[in-house]
Structure 1
Amino acid sequence: MKYLYGLLALYLASWLFTLPADALQQGFFFWRGQLVQLSGALLIALLAALLLMATRPRWLEQRLGGLDHLYLLHKWCGIGAAGLVVLHWLLSKSPRWLIQWGWLTPGARHAHQGASWRGLGMELGELAFYGMLLLVIISLVQALPYGRFRLIHKLGAVLGLMAGLHSLILLSDPLRNTPFGWLTQLACLLVLVAALWSLLGRIGRARRVTGQLEVVSHPAPDLVELAIRLPRAFTRDYQPGQFALLTLDAREGAHPFTILRQDPDTGLTHFAIKGLGDHTRQLVQGCRAGQRVWAEGPYGRFVLPDEGATPQLWIAGGIGITPFFAWLEALARQGQTRCHTRLIYCVERPEEVLHGERLRQLARKSGVALEIHTRQQQGLLDPRPLFTDPQAQCWFCGPQGLGECLASALPAGRLHHERFAFR
């Protein structure tokens, strides 16, 4: 967020630099025009950030702490852009309304360079305004299935093109050759390039590979394990705990799934998928060996932490055991031990434990203290007794409710987790 705040602060500073010395003595029409330009420029800056993040650049993902954090920032940029687009629209329409209500006297109209293009710019802005509001409402309400939401969300690139052209056309002539104008035109260019990159289907293509589903197994109820043969180019940069965007049905699109393990003997990459939503339930029932699979990544920064001098607590809820499984596999393969690490694996019933015997073997080999907490027998996990050491750090992967419970029991900065709610 600090980078975003810095960008907005730079915009405000460059805008203040453009104000004349007698700005405070100016009237309504002057300040309305200035605020229209400022709100439009801030909006286009947020759209540039939105569309840039949507392209999933590796350098930005790593700098922001993982794709999950990138998409969380993407979501908040979208909400901020919705607020700015409403403000920009209200400022644009306000003179007409105030004049109609008799609260304002019409001011002198000024000719604009390239006035013949202004009608097009206004039309594009109007269409982009309504489209953006609809898109934000659909994104926040989350009433549509993910497949339909994904298709509708692609309209964001079209709306970005409209907004970028609108801003380029209607940028005030006196502001074009100022630092504020240069920043705005640069943001417009970034919006146009990122939007075209999306519309041409280039997002993630450099990190996408084609594989084949070799083995489908069901190690626990409502859970499927997929063993997929992927090119070595995909696994070269993999770190235990990372996930991939898997596409098993082109109509449904890609979904994030953590890599359970990579088998060096067979060269297969394993994923464990729990049937939690419509798409994953269909996967549990419908995957077939031999089908083609597309994998993009690997992504994420929820990777095996350094041992350090302070105790570590790893907490997994349900299918959230997958990154910790990958960590234990890596420790066992490298002959490392973690004697001050405790892993608590929370499940509803004993039969839901994923590869229980293998998990216990890995924990013993790596020196990690494993505890399996069964809700059916022990009730909900109480996190308060777990954090008696004020220096202990906690890594968590699991349901949102359990994560919120842990966050309430831990000081800020001691809980590390991924956010898979990309919508």
Structure 2
Amino acid sequence: MKKFGLLLVAVALALPFVWWPQIAQGRDGIALFSQYLGLGALIAMAFSQVIATRWPGVELIFGPMDQTYRLHKWLGIGSMVAILLHDTIDAEMKGLGRETMLVELAETLGEISLYGLLMLVVVTVATFIPYHLWKWTHRFIGIFFLFGAFHYLYILKPFKNGDPLGLYMWVVCIIGTVAYVWTSAPRGMRPRKHYKITAVTQQGEAIAVDMKATGRPLRHRAGQFAFFRFAGAGLNEPHPFTISSAPSDDGSLRITVAPLGDLTNRVSRSLAVGQAVQTDGPYGHFGRAKGAQVWIAAGVGVTPFVALAQALPTDAAPVTLVYCVRNKTNAPHLAELEALAGKKSNLTLILWQSADQGRFSAAALPDLVPDLSNCKVLFCGPVPMRRTLSKDLPKHGISQRSFHYEAFEIRTGIGIRRLAEWLWQRHQARSAG
């Protein structure tokens, strides 16, 4: 996450306080706090709407899209908390004017926005709900933003819409509305690259999907991902996949899909040669580390490393790829990686089969990679494995700054399960003591 993007959000949330001392004169402090919570919620939601557009400047301001989506999630949750507090804490003040039908409508839309957003946040953090259903419900978040903007514009408040703070909030509402209109526009009106599937091949437990551009191709760097929408078979929702091939002269692409979730399971069963594909991207900054590197891949997490291995210059610093799989028969792209390692003297491939060797851990790295402390470590794989490596690598000379990964989780929970597990472990430890 870029510090500039976080600073921009912080400044935008704090800016109302520039005009607050003048507005606060002779006003109820508690009601004023509730009023600010409403403004803060709108500002956070506007940022969330902008991030959802995936405009080119979003990564430039906030950082790689995988990290930016985490900010998108917490902005949504933060705005929900602010709205709940705003609704709970009485924001009414005396002497602001009389209520009209327009004011009453604004109050009603504010209530609808509150409960609608609350339901959407619950659906978002309840990760057991299928991805395509969550994606469908997520479309309504912009509508509830519009309701909230209407509520703000026409509700009784201690300043006018034409005052400096009012004009600032006008800008916030307009930006959020434009972002929502963009994301809601028909797919044909938004820029997309068009492809056609040329081959579908089995790769262990996954499938590799090769595709060729039918128009202007997407231009990507090795290690990036894009959003793909497959025509037919009920696969209309775009889904992110890492591009598992290096950039080519003809702009052809390949993705590798493992049946790990609701949509990816359907994708792996439903794709066929000749099927049309729309792409949006590319995104991500993974693989930009320089110098000697250790790549750790687990299962289908090997996909960015296949592309990076293809693009690795023969005169680059040495790279060791530790490929962790249950056994070699279900290892996607293993033969391809073995061939690349045979051609490139600076690429070493180590296959770690957990069925024979047990689970891979950071403790195994010093024996596999000489001079480990001078290497950058790049990881792509399951979240629990990433967390374990992040905790254990410093014990072996790899600092947190030298550990790079892509948080490829467009939809995540809020850590309730992890908190419950931690509390249970603490309880067990105290009981044992």
Q: 1:76 aligns with which of 55, 74, 77?
A: 74
- The secondary structure found in structure 1 opposite 2:217 is helix
Indicate if the aligned counterparts of 1:62 and 1:301 stay in contact, CA closer than 8 A.
no
Residue equivalent to 1:180: 165
User: Using the alignment, how far apart are the partners of 2:113 and 2:121 within structure 1?
Assistant: 12
Asked if 1:313 corresponds to 2:294, the answer is: yes
1:295 maps to: 279
CA contact under 8 A between 1:53 and 1:74: conserved in structure 2? yes
Hey, what does 1:103 align to over in structure 2? Answer: none
The equivalent of 1:247 in structure 2 is: 229
**Secondary structure, aligned partner of 1:46:** helix
Q: Give 1:4 deviation, angstroms.
A: 3.7
Mapped partners of 1:276, 1:22: distance in 2: 54
Counterpart residue number, 1:100: none
Superposed displacement of residue 116, structure 1: 4.2
Aligned counterpart, 1:137? 122
Q: How many angstroms apart in 2 are the aligned matches of 1:116 and 1:405?
A: 58
- Asked whether the equivalents of residues 242 and 259 of structure 1 are also in contact (C-alpha less than 8 Å), the reply is yes
Equivalent pair of 1:337/1:365 in contact (CA under 8 Å): no
Match of 1:211 in 2: 195
Q: Secondary structure at the match of 2:355?
A: helix
Equivalent pair of 1:18/1:175 in contact (CA under 8 Å): no
Q: Using the alignment, how far apart are the partners of 2:256 and 2:170 within structure 1?
A: 46
**Residues 106 and 154, structure 2, Cα contact 8 Å, conserved in 1:** yes
The match for 1:12 among 11, 14, 26 is 14
**Which residue matches 2:377?**
394
Q: Give TM-score scaled by structure 2 length.
A: 0.84
Deviation at 1:62, TM superposition (A): 3.6
Is contact 1:44–1:188 with CA below 8 Å preserved after alignment?
yes
The aligned counterpart of 1:376 is 355
Give the alignment partner of residue 324 of structure 2, picking from 337, 343, 346.
346
2:262 equivalent to 1:278: yes
Structure 1 segment 17-416 matched on structure 2, within 5 A = 17-20=19-22, 23=25, 26=26, 30-92=28-90, 108-111=94-97, 115-170=100-155, 172=157, 174-201=159-186, 205-206=190-191, 208-220=192-204, 222-231=205-214, 233-235=216-218, 237-249=219-231, 251-252=234-235, 253-261=237-245, 264=248, 268-306=252-290, 308=291, 311-331=292-312, 335-366=313-344, 367-386=346-365, 389-410=372-393, 411-416=399-404
Give the partner amino acid of 1:350: K
CA distance in 1, matches of 2:45, 2:24: 32
Q: Which stretches in structure 1 are left out of the alignment for 5+ residues?
A: 96-106
TM-score (norm 1): 0.86
Measured after TM superposition, the shift of residue 43 of structure 1 is: 0.6
Aligned mates of 2:23, 2:381 — CA distance in 1: 57
The runs of 5 or more residues in structure 2 that have no matched partner are 394-398, 412-433
Identical-pair percentage? 27
Cα deviations across residues 309-353 of structure 1 (Å, max 9, x unaligned)? xx311111111111111011112xxx5234432110100111122
Deviation of the 1:268 alpha carbon: 3.4
Taking the aligned partners of 2:303 and 2:107, their CA distance within structure 1 comes to 51
Q: CA RMSD in A?
A: 2.6
Q: Structure 1 CA distance, aligned partners of 2:341 and 2:269?
A: 31
